[in-house]
Amino acid sequence: MRRCRNFANVFYHARDNIPYQFAWVTILKPYTPLLLALLVTLTFAQPDVCAQPEILLPRTGLTADDLALIINDDDPQSKAVGEYYKKARHIPDGNVIHLHFSPGRHALEKDEFNKLKTEIDRATPKRIQAYAVTWTDPYRVGCMSITSALAFGFDEKYCSSKCGPTKPSAYFNSPSLYPAKNMKMRPAMMLAGKNFDQVKELIDRGVASDQSFPTGHAYLLSTTDTARNTRAGDFAKTAKALTGVFQVEVLKTDAIANRQDVLFYFTGLAQVPQLETLRFLPGALADHLTSMGGQLTDSTQMSSLRWLEAGATASYGTVVEPCSFPQKFPYPGVAMFYYATGASAIEAYWKSVAWPGQGVFIGEPLARPFAPRLREFEPGKFELKIFTPRKGQLLVDSGVSTNGPFNPVSQQPLHRGINVIQFAVSETDVGFLRLRW
């Protein structure tokens, strides 16, 4: 059988950006992506005509195959959300876990949770890397959030009753693409909302965000609330580090209004006004540093659910008093950095919290606005769209199998931000092209 021969006519278009370097290296570990191949099949059906080589892309984030969906069959909203999400995200049947427990409570006792966790662990396929939770209550297990209890198991070392530090997360600022394999933990996120329709809209936004490469703004607000403004000291460094990647605005104000391009919104207030005047882009991340934002259905402050109701795709809040440690809340620069690499919302958000035991993650976990996109726009001609938070190289290798050996064919520079690379293939006896960056 004849195959298409050479990787040819490669060129790129990209924004011209300054060199990338984090100013806060004491917080951020070096980012070293694991270039694991994700197969994209592009072969012709007819065996007697020229067949294109198959193109291998690196893994950048979790997919539906990696996610287990946890449903409480005694909770009508959980069942409805689970059914809708399974179809929307094409979750495999074997990834769905059914539980039975009394709904309508804000918290589970640790003994009841431990029994449920045993059921979950027994039903979780080994390949699963993360969980999607389909109910809104309960959001807490004793002193832990339910998302952290699912990730780590219930452990009071992840709590603090005396305004002290808690056990850290090994997943914080980690380049790992396989948390269950590398760290023996599975991050979790709640598909939460006051009713099914709200969660349906959330899911639809997450799906719509995939590979959309939004060009919105990041708003980092330094507020007058001194107790809740503890993240603001890093905002200038974050803006500098992400220059040319995102349009970052650091503002000394308590709120923004009438903005139509909100991609990130990080602030510190007990109540955030004027959310109804904003337009959040699909895939947007937003949260407010305050004590009880993670008390989703009974908070005396603003519940983190308000962010999702306003149009954000994921958010975060603490379920018990955290005492204003910034380590217990997302570091905006870390969340934005990993999102830019093509990670999913659950990965980017979880990697941004150093001490997540008391915090709950809510939103659509598989949203991936910056996942790489490959398309064939003419026969034998392809366009690869990549978003990256740093300068680098696109390396192209050819091989006869997915396991190699691979030989270098081409390399092209990548700029920070968006890169669009077009290339053509012609006849060759080599069956695979591996793209790496």
Same domain, 295 and 431: no
Would you state the pLDDT for residue 160?
87
Q: Is the peptide bond prior to 30 cis by the omega test (within 30 degrees of 0)? A: no
CA–CA gap between residue 396 and residue 421 (Å, rounded)? 12
Would you state the pLDDT for residue 427?
64
Domain end marker among 302, 331, 363 = 363
Burial class (CB in 10 A: 0-12, 13-18, 19+), 127: middle
CA angle 64, 153, 193 (to 5 degrees): 55
Whether residue 371 is contained in a domain is answered as no
Whether residue 90 is contained in a domain is answered as yes
Domain extent for 164: 64-363
- Token pair of 433 as six digits: 């092209």
CA–CA gap between residue 144 and residue 159 (Å, rounded)? 6
Please report, in angstroms and rounded to a whole number, the separation of the first and last CA atoms in the chain: 31
CA–CA gap between residue 259 and residue 243 (Å, rounded)? 20
Residue 317: strand, helix, or coil? strand
Whether residue 369 is contained in a domain is answered as no
Same domain, 158 and 15: no
Maximal C-alpha separation, the chain: 72
Would you state the pLDDT for residue 41?
31
Structure-token match 């220059």, residue found: 243
Whether residue 370 is contained in a domain is answered as no
CA–CA gap between residue 246 and residue 263 (Å, rounded)? 9
Structure-token match 């980012």, residue found: 31
Whether residue 54 is contained in a domain is answered as yes
Q: Distance from CA of residue 110 to its chain's centroid? A: 28
Whether residue 104 is contained in a domain is answered as yes
Name the amino acid, one letter, at 12: Y
Same domain, 32 and 74: no
Same domain, 50 and 95: no
Same domain, 8 and 91: no
Structural domain count, the chain? 2
CA angle 125, 296, 130 (to 5 degrees): 15
Same domain, 18 and 30: yes
CA–CA gap between residue 292 and residue 298 (Å, rounded)? 9
- Sequence-distant (6+) residues with CB within 8 A of 301 are 270, 271, 290, 291, 292, 293, 295
Same domain, 344 and 380: no
- Token pair of 163 as six digits: 């305004």
Would you state the pLDDT for residue 425?
84
Whether residue 282 is contained in a domain is answered as yes
Q: Rg of the chain over CA atoms, in angstroms?
A: 22
Same domain, 290 and 415: no
Would you state the pLDDT for residue 430?
61
| DSSP string computed for 74-132 | T-HHHHHHHHHHHHHHT--GGGEEEE----S-SEE-HHHHHHHHHHHHHHS-TT--EEE
User: How large is the angle between the packed helices 196-209 and 76-89, nearest 10 degrees?
Assistant: 20
Q: Which long-range contacts (CB under 8 A, 24 or more apart) does 278-281 make?
A: 278/310, 278/311, 279/311, 280/310, 280/311, 280/312, 280/313, 281/209, 281/212, 281/214, 281/216, 281/369
Pairing of strands 392-399, 406-414: antiparallel
Same domain, 210 and 286: yes
Over the chain (437 residues), what is each successive 10-residue block's mean pLDDT? Answer: 36 33 32 32 34 88 98 98 98 98 96 98 98 98 97 96 92 98 98 98 98 98 97 97 98 98 98 98 98 97 98 98 94 98 98 98 98 95 96 94 91 97 76 93
Q: What is the pTM of this model?
A: 0.88
By C-alpha distance, which of 72, 75, 61, 227 is closest to 150? 72
Mark 273-297 as b/e (b = at least 16 C-beta within 10 Å): eebeebebbbbbbbbbbbbbbbbbe
By C-alpha distance, which of 53, 59, 58 is closest to 400? 53
Name the amino acid, one letter, at 296: L
Same domain, 51 and 70: no
Domain end marker among 304, 334, 363 = 363
140 φ/ψ sector (left φ>0, alpha ψ -120 to 50, else beta): beta
Domain end marker among 341, 363, 385 = 363
Same domain, 288 and 415: no
Same domain, 309 and 396: no
Whether residue 82 is contained in a domain is answered as yes
